[in-house]
Amino acid sequence: MNPTAILLATFILSIVGLFFFIWSLRKGMFDATSSGARAIFTSGEIGQIEEPSADTEQKQQLQKVTDEHGPDSDSEEGVSPIELSAREEADRSTAYPVYLMFACAALWLVIASFAGLISSLKLHWPDFLTDYAWLTFGRLRTIHLNAVAYGWAPMGTLGLAVWLLPRLLQTPLRGARLVILGVVIWNAGLIAGLGGLAVGINAGMEWLEIPWQIGGLFAVGGMLIGLPMALMIGQRKVHHLYVSVWYMGAALFWFPTLYIVAKVPGVHFGVEQGTMNWWFGHNVLGLFYTPISLACIYYFLPKVIGRPVRSYNLSLLGFWTLAFFYGQVGAHHLIGGPIPEWLATLSIVQSMMMLIPVIAFSVNQHLTLKGHFNALRYSPVLRFIFFGATMYTVSSIQGSFEALRTVNAVTHFTHFTVAHAHIGLYGFVSMVIFGGIYFAMPRVLNIPWPKPALISWHFWLVVAGFATYAVTLSIGGILQGLDMQDPNVPFMQAVAVTIPWLEGRSIGGALMTLGHLIFVYHMALMTLRVSTTPLSSAIAAPQQKAA
């Protein structure tokens, strides 16, 4: 096997495949406006805002922002009651499983936050809580990672997928019980897995620490959650599959495949296991959390401001380039390592190719929101979603350049990577989940958020905390990397230089944790129906515009 040939073959196959899929879907590709982009609006709904988490005044202001720019549509005849009732039926069919998933997500978020915060403190207070094995840094950090990676993030994103797909396909969810069973099995696996990590049962590979005997429950649970979705696509009432459906549909198939291949016992060995490890580690981000979160942005952002996605066909390009390139970037985690050199090169090239879907997405979002930036002042959901979308762009571009050998030489093995991971999984994915939950929960429970002020507190606390986190840790990581590069600097100098920045990270983490507690408290208030707002104003279906 000639490495150059492998390299070229893989790259060319990706490009040819990419063009094939785009060519096969070329119909109407270069139309300025696309009917597909309107699929999430019922007829006549364009130009109407939808923001379940906003109070009455915010809604009026938000509508004003949208009205100023003139409805670009033929929406004078008002919304169709039939289609609206189909949407309500879809919402009702998902209420139970979705509530369960959001509740689990919130619980894991709290556990993950405290595990993360204590781990962070331990890095600058190394003698803090050392007496118990389960509280040692290595175990607590692993618990933090797994509670996020298999608790908060999948429960949040899958919950949003279960909630959105029936809306997008205009078909009520059948088999909600299967979903609930899947969620129970998944969480049982996670409880066992985290308990196992605490007592020291660790399979040894990053992102795959939970042993396959327990992790099998994720595969089973995930398939039970995904199965009703797959069946629903066949029974859909809409002709066009909206861009969100592509991302979610593909992700629901990608995750079980990834997990099963990664966990199949007795196959992987030595360095091959290392490459497989990062094939999985990066794909679980790129082919699971990322696509579902992008799907949510493609739904919520246009929905809130009542304006279809601009340049809809760019999203087609974005989807297929993500699918073809993201899967191959994992080996950039092992640049300089004992892996075949061609593999690192391939991953670096594909990391740079990832700029294409990222730019396609960013252009989509910017054009859609153009002229509507004022809406950010009035819509809490939009704030979270927009922040998430921006961080997707930031973390992806950062990630592409981090793969370059020269940049990688500084950032690899340092805290910079940790900061980067949080810009992706927190700044992007978690913020989108927050925004999505704020949008969906009033529909799930049929009541408004009891204390809208808490949403603002949540937003500003986590934004301040996250900014502190990302900035301090990135700086600390770069300084650490520069010191480690220099053979004349003693290693301990590279440790000492990070301490103030690690302390800064703990402050950021504490603010984020505080924000999460407010969020979970607010969800609890809502669940217990403790509300100051009269419940009757709840079911805020869009009003007849003509009236």
User: Per CB under 8 A, which of residues 48..87 are in contact with other proteins?
Assistant: none
CA atoms within 13 A on the CB side of 62: 30
458 part of the interface to other proteins, by CB under 8 A: no
Site membership for other proteins, residue 271 (CB under 8 A): yes
Binds other proteins (CB under 8 A): choice among 79, 90, 214, 258: 258
For other proteins, the binding residue among 108, 150, 186, 279 (CB under 8 A) is: 279
The conformation of residue 542, written as its DSSP 8-state character, comes to P
Q: Using CA atoms, how far apart are residues 181 and 97, in angstroms rounded to an integer?
A: 9
Tell me, residue by residue from 129 to 168, as one string, x for binding to other proteins by CB under 8 A and - for no binding.
-xxxx--xxxx-xx--------------------------
Q: How many CB atoms lie within 10 A of CB 237?
A: 10
Q: Which of residues 109-128 bind other proteins (CB under 8 A)?
A: 122-124, 126-127
Which residue from 318, 530, 291, 526 is spatially nearest to 428, judged by alpha carbons?
Answer: 291
Choice from 77, 177, 336, 453 touching other proteins (CB under 8 A): 336
Give the contact letters, 167-186, x = binds to other proteins (CB under 8 A), - = no: --------------------
In whole angstroms, the minimum distance from the beta carbon of 520 to other proteins comes to: 27
For residues 466 and 428, is the Cβ–Cβ distance under 8 A?
A: no
What's the min distance (Å) between Cβ of 294 and other proteins? 14
Other beta carbons within 10 Å of 429 = 27
Site for other proteins in 284-303 (CB under 8 A): 287
Beta carbon nearer to other proteins, 183 or 317: 317
- Ranges of H-type helices in 25-152: 56-68, 81-124, 137-147
- Residue from 122, 125, 146 nearest 136 by CA: 122
Q: By CB under 8 A, what part of segment 313-332 binds other proteins? A: 316, 320, 323-324, 326-328, 330-331
28 is a contact residue toward other proteins (CB under 8 A): no
Choose the binding region for other proteins from 49-57, 299-307, 467-475, 477-485 (rule: CB under 8 A). Answer: 477-485
CA distances 75 to 69, 84, 431, 542, 544, Å, are 14, 15, 32, 13, 11
Question: Hey, what's the torsion of the CAs at 369, 375, 380, 381, to 10 degrees?
Answer: -30
Q: How far is the CB of 152 from other proteins (least distance, A)?
A: 19
Helices within 200-339 (DSSP H only): 212-234, 243-263, 270-284, 290-305, 312-326
CA gap 77, 81 in Å, rounded: 12
What's the CA angle centered on 427, arms 294 and 379, to 5 degrees? 75
Among the candidate windows 159-167, 247-255, 353-361, 369-377, which touches other proteins by CB under 8 A?
247-255
Selected from 343, 381, 479, 511, the binder of other proteins by CB under 8 A is 343
Residue 35 binding other proteins, by CB under 8 A = no
Q: Which is nearer to other proteins, 61 or 273 (CB)?
A: 273
Nearest one of 125, 147, 149 to 137, comparing CA atoms: 125
Binders of other proteins among residues 351 to 410 (CB under 8 A) are 405, 408-410
